[in-house]
Structure 1
Amino acid sequence: MSVAHTAVTPQTGPCGDDDCGIRDVLDRIGDKWSVLVVVELAKGVRRFRELERAIPGISQRMLTVTTRRLCRDGLVHRTVYPTVPPQTEYSLTDTGHSLASVITDLADWSRTHKPAIAAARARWDAEHPQDSMHTAD
């Protein structure tokens, strides 16, 4: 850069100058609970307790928060039946189904490339012992 150069270099993201919503999507799919709920609902309609039993480790509060976020984002549809106590069912919307197929593709990619990634990590760790993460993968 020359001394006379004073222009600010524009910062563009993966979508160029427009807001394609990638950050919002990554916020949702970067959350493991959201991904697990979407994967479970891809199998069909589930009641709240069915979801809770199908997703090990999720608390009732976290499942409530997660399903609300997914409903707000238009990925999940919530149906409440006027029974005592109220029965609530969750299902994927068309948008949710399209996300489920992307998650499936990502899982397939992960399975396909897992050995290559493990080998690359082993090479890195051997060549850069001071920089290796040494985390359980």
Structure 2
Amino acid sequence: MINKEINILDVAHPSVAQMVESVIGCKWSLTVIELIRKGVNRPGKMEHAIAGLSAKVLNERLHKLSHFGVIEKRVFAETPP
């Protein structure tokens, strides 16, 4: 039998750890994900739905979540209602 030690640093890719820290580390990320799950998918509606969430923080969270592949941004050629 071959004994092998597995070092967690060898297994975990740095970008995965960075993603988890970025998503879980911010109190707004999970709230934004929950809103999207409920169908609130426009930034303006998200701002109004969450008291205390600024446009700057919302845009930062959306960018990070998109960057890590947690959400996908879709751009439509129409004006929202």
Return the TM-score normalized by structure 2: 0.71
Determine the C-alpha separation between the residues in 1 that align with 2:68 and 2:25. 14
| Identity %, equivalent residues | 29
Would you say 1:27 and 2:22 are equivalent positions? yes
> Quick one: distance in 2 between partners of 1:24 and 1:71?
11
The yes-or-no answer on 1:17 pairing with 2:17 is: no
Aligned to 1:110: none
2:76 matched residue in structure 1: 81
Distance apart, 1:59 and its partner CA: 0.7
Q: How does 1:43-82 map to 2 (within 5 A)?
A: 43-82=38-77
- C-alpha separation in 1, matches of 2:17 and 2:74: 28
Aligned residue type for 1:17 = D
Structure 1, unpaired ranges of 5+: 1-11, 88-137
User: Residues 45 and 55 of structure 1: is their aligned pair in 2 closer, same or farther, counting only changes over 3 Å?
Assistant: closer
Indicate conservation of the 8 Å contact 2:40/2:46, yes or no.
no
Against the structure 1 CA distance between its residues 27 and 56, is the aligned structure 2 distance closer, same or farther, given a 3 Å change threshold? same
The alignment partner of 2:75 has SS state of strand
- Specify which structure has the higher proportion of strand: 1
Query: Which structure has greater helix proportion?
Result: 2
User: What TM-score do the two structures reach when normalised by structure 1?
Assistant: 0.45
State the Cα distance separating 1:24 from its structure 2 match.
2.6
Q: Across the two proteins, how many residue pairs are aligned to each other?
A: 72
Cα gap change, 1:51 to 1:22, in 2 (>3 Å): same
Helix, strand or coil at the partner of 1:81: coil
Q: What is the CA distance between 1:16 and its match in structure 2? A: 5.0
Distance change >3 Å, CA 23–CA 65, structure 1 → 2: closer
